[in-house]
C-alpha cells in the first residue's frame, strides 16, 4: 500500500512539474522568443511606431526584421549576448523567427487606424510594454499567454461600450 501511495505521489509531482514547464505561474502558456528583446531599454529612445512601422496603415503591426535591427546593432551598442544574436541571423542570412504575440482570430476584422484616430495609445490595449524588461504577454490567439476568445471579446466590447463605439457584431466580425 505504501509503495502505491509513493507511486501516485510521484505521478502527481511529475504532472505538476510538466505543467510548470509549459505554463507560467499565472496559468498562462509561456512563449520564448528567439531573442530576449528588452522593450524597456529600447523604449527609452524609440516610440512604438519606430519599430512597428505599419501600425497605422495595416491590420497587423510590423515586427522588425533582422535588417531593421541591424541598422543600429551593426555598431556595438551593448555587450548583451541577446543583441549579439542579431549578427548571427545577419551572417546566416536568416530572418529572426519572432513569435507574433498579438494576433486576432481569422474571423475578426481589425485595424489599428480607427483606434489611433480616436486617440487611443498603444498601452490601452497592449499594456505598458515599454516598461517590460523581459517576457511580454500577448493576446488574441490561444497560446500567446493573454486574453483570447470570449475573454478578449469581453475586453473589446467593454471598451467599445465605454467609448460609445459600435458593438454590432459585424463591426469586428466577418
Q: What percent of the chain has pLDDT over 70?
A: 79
CA–CA gap between residue 91 and residue 105 (Å, rounded): 35
Q: Has residue 2 got a pLDDT over 70? A: no
As a whole number, the mean pLDDT across the chain is 82
Mean pLDDT to the nearest integer, 19-46? 69
Mean pLDDT to the nearest integer, 15-21? 43
Instruction: Indicate the domain borders of the chain.
Output: 1-30, 35-63+98-172
For the entire predicted model, the pTM comes to: 0.71
**Most confident by average pLDDT, 73-77, 78-82, 136-140, 162-166:** 162-166
| Higher-confidence position of 23 and 40 | 40
Amino acid at each position: 500500500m505504501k509503495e502505491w501511495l509513493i507511486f501516485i505521489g510521484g505521478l502527481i509531482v511529475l504532472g505538476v512539474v510538466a505543467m510548470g514547464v509549459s505554463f507560467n505561474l499565472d496559468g498562462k502558456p509561456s512563449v520564448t522568443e528567439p531573442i530576449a528583446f528588452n522593450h524597456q531599454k529600447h523604449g527609452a529612445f524609440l516610440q512604438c511606431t519606430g519599430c512597428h512601422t505599419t501600425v497605422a496603415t495595416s491590420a497587423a503591426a510590423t515586427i522588425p526584421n533582422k535588417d531593421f535591427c541591424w541598422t543600429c546593432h551593426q555598431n556595438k551598442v551593448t555587450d548583451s549576448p541577446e543583441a549579439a544574436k542579431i549578427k548571427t541571423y545577419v551572417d546566416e542570412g536568416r530572418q529572426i523567427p519572432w513569435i507574433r504575440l498579438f494576433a486576432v482570430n481569422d474571423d475578426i476584422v481589425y485595424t489599428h487606424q480607427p483606434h489611433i484616430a480616436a486617440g487611443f495609445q498603444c498601452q490601452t490595449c497592449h499594456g505598458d510594454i515599454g516598461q517590460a524588461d523581459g517576457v511580454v504577454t500577448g493576446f488574441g490567439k490561444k497560446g500567446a499567454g493573454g486574453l483570447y476568445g470570449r475573454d478578449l471579446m469581453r475586453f473589446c466590447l467593454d471598451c467599445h461600450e465605454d467609448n460609445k463605439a459600435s458593438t454590432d457584431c459585424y463591426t469586428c466580425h466577418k
